[in-house]
Homo-oligomer: A and B are copies of this chain.
Amino acid sequence: MIELFKILSNEHRIQILTWLKHPHDHFAAEDIEPEVKDYGVCMSVIQRKAGISQSTASAYLSSMVNCGLLKSVREGQWTYYKRNEEKIRELAEYIKGTL
């Protein structure tokens, strides 16, 4: 849980999380993998939009996957990221119930 809060203590990471909540409101349609595949958005697209270096984007996104906030799928040379809604719900429950 502590780890989760650390990850959320950064403007860019929060932003990425909210962008991915409604990808179609924030990314061009061609930058979002088809609903059927449910792949989300790939790193370079997120990186450009966030205005951070690729190494930083990579580190951010993998830390978000590690703590369970995001899920990723590698497809060829691309890695697609999308939210893990369950984890986010869990976090809200924890704050409401336990904290």
Number of copies: 2
Identify the closest chain B residue to A3 (Cβ): B9
Complex contact A18–B92 (CB within 8 A): no
By size class, the interface of chain A is 20 to 34
Complex contact B96–A92 (CB within 8 A): yes
Q: Classify the secondary structure of A's interface with B.
A: helix
Complex contact A99–B2 (CB within 8 A): no
Which of B10, B18, B89, B99 is in CB contact (< 8 Å) with A96?
B89
- Known contacts A88-B99, A89-B96, A96-B89; A9/B2 CB under 8 A: yes
Which of B1, B6, B10, B14 is in CB contact (< 8 Å) with A99?
B14
Q: Closest 3 CB pairs between A and B?
A: A92-B96, A92-B95, A5-B8
